[in-house]
C-alpha cells in the first residue's frame, strides 16, 4: 500500500480480506500519525474500519490503536485539550451508534476517555456511556472482574458523570446493575466496589460531607427497596454507612437499617459470630440511630432480637454483646450516668418480662447492672436481688 493512496483507497485495500492484521495496523499508524495529530477525516476513517471489522479476528494491536487514536482525536485537540466538548460528544455518539451496536472496542474507547479526560464530559455523552456499560454488563447477567475494573475507571475517571466523585446518575447505574445481578455468581470485587462507590456518593458530597441528609436517606431507602428485597450487598452497604458516617443519620434511615438487619439475622433463627460483628458496626457506628452511644431504638431492637433467638444455638459472643450494649444504654446515658433511674428500671422490667421469661442472657444483663450500677431505683432493685 502506498501513502499516495487516498484514505478511501487505503481503507478498501485494508478491508480486502475483511480483517486487520498487525502489519496493517503498523501502516495505518505510520500514515495517520505522520503529522502528529488525528484529524476528523482520519477519525472517520478509523470508525469505518472498525465498523467493517467488528467481531472479526483482527490482530489485538488494532483494538489498542483504535482506542489510542480516537482518544487522541478528542482529547489532544487545540480547541478543548484534555476534555470532551459538546461537538466531540455528539460526534462520538453518532459514530459509535452508526452501525447499531456498541462493540467491545468502542466500549473500551469510552472507558478510556472517562479515565483519561481531565474534566467532566457533557451530559449526553455520560448518559450514553452509562447506558452502554449497563447493557454490556447485563448481557450475561453477571459482573466479572474485568467489568468491575471498567466500572471503576468510568465512575472514578475525571471524564465520567461526576468527575472523580460519584454522582447520582452513576449511583443509579450501580443500583440498577446490582438489582439485575443479585444472587448471581459475580466476582467478589463487585461487592467491594458497589459498597465503596455508593458510600462515597452519600458521604463525600458537598452538601452534607460525612453525614447522611434527608434526601440521601430517602434515596437509599427508595433504591434498596426498589426490587422488593434487601440483598446481602445492600445490607453490607447500610452497615458500612453506619460505620463510616461521622454523625447520626435521619430516623427514617436508621429505622430502615435496624429493620433490614433484624430480618436478615432472623432468617435462620440464630445469631452467628459474623452477625454479632455486623451488629457492632451498626449499634456503635456514628451513622447509627444513637451515634456511638446506644439509644432507646437500638436497645429495643436488641431486646426484640434476643426474644426471637432465646434458647437457640447462638454464638457465645451474642450474649456478651447484648449485655454490654444494654448496660451501656442504661448506665452511660446523660440523664443518670452510672445509675438506674426509675424510668430505666421500669423499661428494663417491661422488656425482660415481655416474653414471659428471664432467659440466661437477660439474667447476665441483670448481674452486670448489679455489679456496675452505683444505685438502682424502683422495682428493678427487687428483680435484680431475685435474678441478678
Beta bridge partners of 376: 340
Per the DSSP assignment, residues forming a β-bridge with 339 are 375
**In 204-250, which residue ranges form alpha helices assigned H by DSSP?**
214-225, 232-244
Sign of CA dihedral 42, 44, 48, 54: positive
- Has residue 66 got a pLDDT over 50? yes
DSSP letter at 339 equals E
What confidence category does residue 94 fall into, taking pLDDT thresholds of 50, 70 and 90? very high
pLDDT, tens digit, for every residue of 311-353?
999 999 999 999 999 999 999 999 999 999 999 999 999 999 9
- Asked if residue 81 has pLDDT above 90, the reply is yes
Helix (H, G, I), strand (E, B) or coil at 131: helix
d(CA 366, CA 323): 9
Does the model's pTM come out above 0.75?
yes
pLDDT at 163: 52
- Per-residue pLDDT band for 144 (boundaries 50, 70, 90) equals very high
> Helix H segments across 117-187?
123-138, 145-156, 168-181
Of the chain, the end-to-end C-alpha distance in Å amounts to 95
Distance CA 140, CA 20 (A): 28
> Which backbone phi and psi does 224 adopt, to 5 degrees?
-70, -35
Which of 236, 252, 242 lies closest to 281 in space, CA to CA? 242
147-155 contacts: CB < 8 A, separation 24 or more? Answer: 147/187, 147/190, 148/187, 148/189, 148/190, 148/193, 150/107, 150/108, 150/111, 151/177, 151/193, 152/193, 153/111, 153/112, 153/114, 153/115, 154/110, 154/111, 154/114, 154/115, 154/129, 154/130, 155/197
pLDDT digits (tens, 9 = 90+) for 356-370: 889 999 999 999 999
Amino acid at each position: 500500500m502506498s501513502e499516495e493512496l487516498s484514505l478511501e483507497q487505503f481503507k478498501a485495500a485494508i478491508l480486502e480480506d475483511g480483517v486487520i492484521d498487525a502489519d496493517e495496523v503498523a501502516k495505518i499508524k505510520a500514515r495517520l500519525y505522520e503529522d502528529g495529530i488525528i484529524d476528523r477525516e482520519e477519525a472517520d476513517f478509523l470508525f469505518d474500519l472498525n465498523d467493517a471489522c467488528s467481531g472479526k479476528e483482527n490482530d489485538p494491536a488494532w483494538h489498542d490503536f483504535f482506542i489510542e487514536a480516537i482518544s487522541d482525536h478528542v482529547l489532544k485537540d487545540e480547541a478543548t485539550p484534555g476534555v470532551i466538548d459538546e461537538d466531540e460528544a455528539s460526534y462520538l455518539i453518532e459514530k459509535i451508534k452508526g452501525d447499531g451496536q456498541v462493540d467491545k472496542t468502542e466500549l473500551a474507547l469510552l472507558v478510556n476517555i472517562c479515565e483519561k479526560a481531565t474534566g467532566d464530559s457533557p451530559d449526553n455523552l455520560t448518559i450514553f456511556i452509562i447506558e452502554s456499560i449497563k447493557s454490556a454488563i447485563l448481557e450475561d447477567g453477571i459482573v466479572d472482574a474485568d467489568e468491575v475494573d471498567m466500572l471503576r475507571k468510568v465512575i472514578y475517571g475525571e471524564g465520567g458523570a461526576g468527575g472523580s466523585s460519584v454522582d447520582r446518575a452513576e449511583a443509579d447505574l450501580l443500583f440498577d446493575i446490582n438489582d439485575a445481578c443479585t444472587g448471581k455468581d459475580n466476582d467478589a470485587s463487585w461487592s467491594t466496589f458497589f459498597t465503596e462507590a455508593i458510600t462515597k456518593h452519600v458521604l463525600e458530597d458537598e452538601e452534607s460531607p460525612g453525614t447522611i441528609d434527608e434526601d440521601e436517606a430517602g434515596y437509599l431507602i427508595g433504591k434498596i427497596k426498589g426490587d422488593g428485597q434487601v440483598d446481602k450487598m445492600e445490607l453490607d452497604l447500610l452497615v458500612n454507612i453506619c460505620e463510616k458516617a461521622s454523625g447520626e443519620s435521619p430516623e427514617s434511615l436508621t429505622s430502615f437499617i435496624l429493620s433490614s438487619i433484624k430480618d436478615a439475622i432472623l432468617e435462620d433463627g440464630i445469631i452467628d459470630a459474623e452477625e454479632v460483628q455486623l451488629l457492632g458496626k451498626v449499634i456503635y457506628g456514628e451513622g447509627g440511630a444513637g451515634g456511638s452511644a446506644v439509644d432507646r431504638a437500638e436497645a429495643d431492637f436488641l431486646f426484640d432480637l434476643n426474644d426471637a433467638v432465646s434458647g437457640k444455638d447462638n454464638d457465645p459472643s451474642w450474649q456478651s454483646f447484648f449485655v454490654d450494649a444494654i448496660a451501656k444504654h442504661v448506665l452511660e446515658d446523660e440523664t443518670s450516668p452510672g445509675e438506674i433511674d426509675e424510668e430505666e428500671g421500669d423499661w428494663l422490667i417491661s422488656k425482660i418480662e415481655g416474653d414471659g421469661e428471664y432467659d440466661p442472657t437477660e439474667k447476665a444483663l441483670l448481674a452486670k447492672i448489679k455489679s456496675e450500677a452505683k444505685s438502682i431505683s424502683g422495682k428493678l432493685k427487687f428483680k435484680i436481688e431475685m435474678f441478678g
